[in-house]
Amino acid sequence: MVIRGAEVLCEDYRFRQKDVGMEDGIFVENGRGTVEDASGCYAVPGLVDVHFHGCVGEDISDGSAEGLARMARYEAGRGITTIVPAVMTLPAPRLMEICDMAASFSGEEGAVFAGIHLEGPYLSGKKKGAQNGAFLQKPDAEQMGRFFEAAGGMLRIMTIAPELEGAEEVIRAFSPVCGMSIGHTDCDYETARQAFRWGADGVTHLFNAMNGLHHREPGAAAAALEDSRCMAEMICDGIHAHPAVVKLAYRLLTAERMVLISDSMRAAGMPDGIYTLGGQDVEVRGKHAFLKGTETLAGSASDLMDCVRTAVEEVGLDLASAIRCASENPARRARIFDQCGSITPGKRADLVLLDRQLKVRAVYVRGKKQKIWEDNQQTRL
């Protein structure tokens, strides 16, 4: 297959009009066969979301393979072609069951399931946010080993509060094989810097669930912004972080270290109402999701493509940089950039065509065209 006529986002992150070839599920130098006219569109690599909980009424924390398959179909229909869903803090036996499910999942439709992100249970009670405090634990390297083994190589990222007893051992032991991200943390600047020296290489939703920047107490946010080893997640939905803050963070992180995430929960792709997240009720109103009866933000109702549009339209990022932050960078974060995240011959043929208003016009996963999920569509997948 050949995609012809589009402005293609090349590996140097410049747009050029060129053909894109796809054969046997991968990108190739010279495609053959069917020619698809993409005139007037941008051709960009499929997005990679390494931190979202759910969508279309489903959540990875449910531990349902059928639910995960529905999530994959929805995400693909929105231009997110690779997913690493985040599991909430739950009892250890339940986490083991989800790890087992991740190891055995063999979805063949929709976005490619590349593994899971454990957002807990090794988090600070002071900065737990929407996590269930009843199930928080001290970091335990032996238990972490059991999670890792049960997931069968599908545990891609672990969020941990570095100030907790046992955190150093876990970070040192598992950073060679799993992305270690500091988050939901009450740690100070020096502790965060130390965590990066131990081997942590990321931060979970920068500015959210951590101490804010202060000129005498800079906190984990400052350590993450200044350390070249750290890739920083940002929820760019216009709610979790003001566009001005995202812009300031981008100037320090640049397009090399910012990782756009959605942090979406099961309400994404669904009408307003009451939903659950980690066993707690969440009230969703438009893009806003709060723990019921509180003003505590509880994930997002926006998907990653929505966040890209916000990054371009409200933050002011150029499209090439916004796509890089939502494709290459998360793929690097999950250590799968050799498979996806750019339009490169030999990589999986995951491609999105966007019109000039950044509306998704076509999505290909492994070279196979996907069904588009329209805004406000409520049809079950």
Q: Mean pLDDT across the stretch 260-278?
A: 85
pLDDT in tens, 50-90: 999 999 999 999 999 999 999 999 999 999 999 999 999 99
pLDDT at 279 over 90: no
Confidence band (pLDDT; 50, 70, 90) for 277? Answer: confident
Q: Mean pLDDT across the stretch 301-309?
A: 93
Q: Using CA atoms, how far apart are residues 329 and 323, in angstroms rounded to an integer?
A: 9
Question: Quick one: pLDDT at residue 272?
Answer: 80
pLDDT in tens, 132-162: 999 999 999 999 999 999 999 999 999 999 9
Asked which of 81-85, 176-180, 234-238, 300-304 is least confident by mean pLDDT, the reply is 300-304
SS3 (DSSP) at 83: strand
Q: Using CA atoms, how far apart are residues 82 and 73, in angstroms rounded to an integer?
A: 11
Residue-wise burial string across 176-211, b where 16 or more C-beta atoms lie within 10 A, e elsewhere: eebbbbbbbbbbbbebbbbbbebbbbbbbbbbbbbb
Active-site annotation, residues: 263
- Measuring CA to CA, which residue among 231, 308, 358 is closest to residue 47? 308
Structure tokens given for 155: 């545990």
Q: Mean pLDDT across the stretch 306-323?
A: 97
Higher pLDDT, 294 or 352: 352
Largest CA distance in the chain: 63
Question: Quick one: pLDDT at residue 17?
Answer: 96
pLDDT at 115 over 90: yes
Structure tokens given for 43: 């051709």
> Mind giving me the DSSP string for 341-366?
SS--TTSB--EEEE-TT--EEEEEET
CB neighbours of 368 closer than 8 A, spacing ≥ 6?
Answer: 25
Q: Which residue has 């796809």 as its token pair?
A: 22
pLDDT at 299 over 80: no
Confidence band (pLDDT; 50, 70, 90) for 380? Answer: very low
Question: Quick one: pLDDT at residue 375?
Answer: 65
Confidence band (pLDDT; 50, 70, 90) for 212? Answer: confident
pLDDT in tens, 33-54: 999 999 999 999 999 999 999 9
pLDDT at 117 over 70: yes
Q: Using CA atoms, how far apart are residues 303 and 286, in angstroms rounded to an integer?
A: 13
Question: Quick one: pLDDT at residue 109?
Answer: 93
Question: Quick one: pLDDT at residue 379?
Answer: 45
Q: Mean pLDDT across the stretch 372-379?
A: 66
Question: Quick one: pLDDT at residue 377?
Answer: 55
**Percent of the chain's residues with pLDDT above 70:** 97
CB neighbours of 376 closer than 8 A, spacing ≥ 6?
Answer: none
